[in-house]
């Protein structure tokens, strides 16, 4: 899958960087994730840069990872 | 202005967090920045989260800050 388990500020998170060939395609993917997370009511951190988008999922309420984050990670992959 | 000088991975950058009242407005601002940076041919890092967008400007070529980054920061403020 390519998702990494990272710990930032003491909170475990799922993170993956998606590569694109320019800025516009990266931003387009960010917007697809935006539509998904609004629909699901669960919001990640989305870092948009030239040629790449880094997505980080975790559950704010439990300050860590819930099974839902793994589901959202899989749904993020499916947006490609 | 509210822009902070930060050093990440040994590179000085300009960074500011803009607050919004939901995810959709944050993503909308991300897209405004996207249009600006495509127009100017200079791309920042844009972190989109629920209720906030953190923008980071620096110049990749010189691995630091150029006067153009300060201009882009001002233009980012003007998008609000």
Looking at residue B46, what is its pLDDT?
98
Work out the mean pLDDT of chain B and round it to a whole number.
97
- pLDDT 10s digit of each residue in chain A, 80 long? 799 999 999 999 999 999 999 999 999 999 999 999 999 999 999 999 999 999 999 999 999 999 999 999 999 999 99
pLDDT of residue B69: 97
Residue B73 has a pLDDT of: 98
What is the C-alpha separation between A75 and B73, in angstroms, rounded?
A: 34
Closest listed residue to residue B25, CA positions, set A54, A43, A2: A43
Record the tokens describing residue B34, joined without a space: 């996207």
Q: What percent of chain B has pLDDT over 90?
A: 99
Name chain B contacts of A31, Cβ cutoff 8 Å. Answer: 27, 31
pLDDT, tens digit, 9 for 90 and up, residues B16-41: 999 999 999 999 999 999 999 999 99
pLDDT at B66: 97
The interface predicted TM-score of the complex, written ipTM, equals 0.96
Chain B residues with CB-CB distance to A38 below 8 A:
23-24
Q: What is the pLDDT of residue A57?
A: 98
Neighbours of B41 (CB within 10 A): 7
Does A49 lie at the interface with B, CB-CB under 8 angstroms? yes
d(CA B11, CA B77) in angstroms, rounded, equals: 22
């Amino acid at each position: 899958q390519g998702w990494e388990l990272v710990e930032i500020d003491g909170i475990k998170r799922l993170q993956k960087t998606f590569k694109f060939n320019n800025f516009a395609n990266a931003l387009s993917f960010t917007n697809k994730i935006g539509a998904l997370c609004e629909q699901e009511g669960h919001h990640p951190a989305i870092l948009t840069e030239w040629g790449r988008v880094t997505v980080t999922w975790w559950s704010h309420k439990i300050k860590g990872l819930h099974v839902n984050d793994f589901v959202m990670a899989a749904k993020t992959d499916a947006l490609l």
